[in-house]
């Protein structure tokens, strides 16, 4: 049975434990589909104060993570999870996207090293396989990014999502990478806003076409960068500007 094994190396273990223990990821752990270990990097630091950071050579603001505790934590994690990819979360990394999440899920073993402070001693990179960023903004640390990696990869492990179809129907995961169509649930009218009539019609062919049209429109309007990248059949180009009566 496919499963995802991860070890998160962090100076703030409690930041990660809460998220991983709840909801779908918590259930995935109970079912043995996700095995998540959280390692406190400080356990690999030496000296009375177990110091993990120091001032940058050359001067400048902030503190830098020392190489020894983090590299030793990585080596211990590699011994526990042979063959794992070691990923350092950093705004300097390659951007996380659905394709990378899928590669992580398929590989099945990850060691996620969370950067902190103003940066990480560059010599740590010799112990790392890749650096991953979750976007062009700077967080106070890499924990949220590591949790994004685990979450995005774990939900692709077969059985983690209750309904096997749901991982595929969503934005980016579909073959062509369109945004998801809008969803509605009860009540049929909320503050004067009615659920689109077609969704109440019970006509599955029309519903499919409506959803496809809305996915195409949402992508064209909100993510023109994605829209120009997907190659769409003629039928989609006709559908996107079709009225409800033409569905
Ligand atoms: N650490 C700080 N900012 C980050 C980002 N955008 N992605 C990954 N790790 C980070």
Would strands 64-65 and 53-54 be described as parallel, antiparallel, or unpaired?
Answer: antiparallel
pLDDT of residue 78: 98
What's the CA-to-centroid distance between 147 and ligand 1, angstroms? 11
115 CA: nearest ligand 1 atom: 1
For residue 173, the model assigns a pLDDT of 43
Among candidate residues 223, 212, 89, 59, the one with its CA nearest the CA of residue 150: 89
Q: How far is the CA of 117 from the centre of ligand 1 (A)?
A: 11
> Is the minimum distance from the CB of 89 to ligand 1 under 6 angstroms?
yes
| Residue 175, pLDDT score | 46
Q: Using CB atoms within 10 A of its CB, is residue 233 exposed (0-12), middle (13-18) or buried (19+)?
A: exposed
Which residue ranges of the chain lie beneath pLDDT 50?
169, 173-175
- Tell me which CATH homologous superfamily contains domain 172-246: tRNA(m1g37)methyltransferase, domain 2 (1.10.1270.20)
Distances (CA, A) of 130 to 35, 74, 85, 94, 218: 21, 13, 8, 8, 33
| Atom of ligand 1 lying closest to residue 132 CA | 8
pLDDT one-digit tens code per residue, 146-179: 999 999 999 999 999 986 556 654 555 444 789 9
Write phi, then psi, for 234 (nearest 5 degrees). Answer: -45, -45
State in Å: Cα 86 to ligand 1 middle: 16
Strands annotated E in 77-166: 85-95, 109-114, 119-120, 130-133
Cα→Cα distances 158→1, 110, 148, 171, Å: 9, 17, 18, 18
Given a contact cutoff of 8 angstroms between Cβ atoms, the answer to whether 116 and 11 are in contact is yes
Domain boundaries, the chain: 4-154, 172-246
As assigned by CATH, the class of the 4-154 domain is alpha beta
Q: Decide whether any atom of ligand 1 lies within 6 Å of the 134 Cβ.
A: yes
The gap from C-alpha 118 to its chain's centroid, in whole angstroms, comes to 23
Residue 62 is assigned to a ligand binding site: no
pLDDT at 168: 57
Predicted local confidence at residue 165, as pLDDT = 55
pLDDT confidence of residue 117: 74
Indicate the pTM of the whole model: 0.93
Ligand 1 centre to CA of 137 (Å) is 7
CB of 88 within 8 A of CB of 131? yes
Contact 115 CB / ligand 1 (< 6 Å): yes
Report d(CA 118, CA 105) in Å as an integer.
30
Q: What is the mean pLDDT of the chain?
A: 94
Q: What is the pLDDT of residue 73?
A: 98
What is the distance of C-alpha 56 from the center of its chain?
Answer: 31
**Residue 115 among known ligand-binding residues:** yes
């Amino acid at each position: 049975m496919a499963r995802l094994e991860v070890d998160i190396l962090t100076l703030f273990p409690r930041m990660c434990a809460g998220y991983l223990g709840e909801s779908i990821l918590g259930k995935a752990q109970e079912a043995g589909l996700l095995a998540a270990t959280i390692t406190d990097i400080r356990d690999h630091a030496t000296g009375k104060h177990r110091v993990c950071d120091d001032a940058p050579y050359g001067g400048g603001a902030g503190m830098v993570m020392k190489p020894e505790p983090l590299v030793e934590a990585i080596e211990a994690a590699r011994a526990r999870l042979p063959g794992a990819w070691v990923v350092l979360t950093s705004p300097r990394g390659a951007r996380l996207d659905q394709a990378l999440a899928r590669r992580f899920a398929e590989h099945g073993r990850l060691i996620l090293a969370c950067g902190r402070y103003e940066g990480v001693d560059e010599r740590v990179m010799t112990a790392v396989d890749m650096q991953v960023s979750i976007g062009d903004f700077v967080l106070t640390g890499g924990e949220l990014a590591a949790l994004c990696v685990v979450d995005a990869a774990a939900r692709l492990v077969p059985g983690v999502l209750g309904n096997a179809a749901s991982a595929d129907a969503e934005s980016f995961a579909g073959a062509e990478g369109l945004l998801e169509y809008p969803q509605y649930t009860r009540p049929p009218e909320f503050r004067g806003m009615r659920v689109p009539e077609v969704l109440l019609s019970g006509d599955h062919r029309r519903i499919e076409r409506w959803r496809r049209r809305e996915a195409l429109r949402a992508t064209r309007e909100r993510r023109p960068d994605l829209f120009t990248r997907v190659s769409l059949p003629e039928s989609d180009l006709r559908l996107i500007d079709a009225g409800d009566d033409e569905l």
